[in-house]
Amino acid sequence: MMEVELVGNAFCLDFTNTVNARPVARRDWLSTPEEALTWAAATGHPLQQIGDPAEDSAPETRDLRDLAAAREFRETVFRVFQPVAHGGSAPQEGLDRILAVYGEGVTQGHLSGQDGNFRLEWAPPRTVRVLMWEAATSAMELLTHGPLDRLGECPSCCWLFLDVSKNRRRRWCSMTTCGSRDKSRRYYSGKG
Ligand SMILES: [Zn+2]
């Protein structure tokens, strides 16, 4: 079984890294309800239920539709942050979409106090919709508070991450996967 890798240092970035490579993914944690459950549990945002039970449709249809929406939102988050990682600007339609999903989350959520701070929370059950609202909230925080100057994209797999290292020289999603692959590639091609 594949392990869930979390290298983003922000929930919205881990959310957008649920595919292992772009444009052609060989691994997608949001492809089936079972995988989404595994991924969400590993990120500390566990799901109790995939679809929204308030909606009047068969559970399987609901699950697949909600996952499709989550996958679409994941690409929106990628479209917004990927150019920013290279000093470019985010597309307006993507920003509008993040704001819209965040707005939906705000109207459905409530503020809950914890450790002296407050944060947006949602009444159970935790569904894929809640996961999207959490990703949108995280994206809003990153957009409005940064640190966007620490945003990077792995040149090998296109994963996005915040470089929280002291010297700000992180290049790869992780040294153990893409970093070491590149190192051995250069070694074997004699460019060490
Ligand atoms: Zn990578």
Q: How far is the CA of 177 from the centre of ligand 1 (A)?
A: 7
Looking at this protein, which amino acid is placed at residue 85? A
3-state SS of 75-126 is HHHHHHHHHHCCCCCCCHHHHHHHHHHHHHHHHHCEEEEECCEEEEECCCCC
Q: How far is the CA of 40 from the centre of ligand 1 (A)?
A: 20
Q: How far is the CA of 175 from the centre of ligand 1 (A)?
A: 8
pLDDT in tens, 42-54: 999 999 877 777 7
Low-confidence ranges of the chain (pLDDT < 70): 1, 181-192
pLDDT in tens, 70-92: 999 999 999 999 999 999 999 99
Catalogue all structural domains in the chain, each as residue range(s) with its CATH number: 11-188 (1.10.3300.10)
Q: How far is the CA of 149 from the centre of ligand 1 (A)?
A: 19
Q: How far is the CA of 22 from the centre of ligand 1 (A)?
A: 11
Residue 182 has a pLDDT of 63
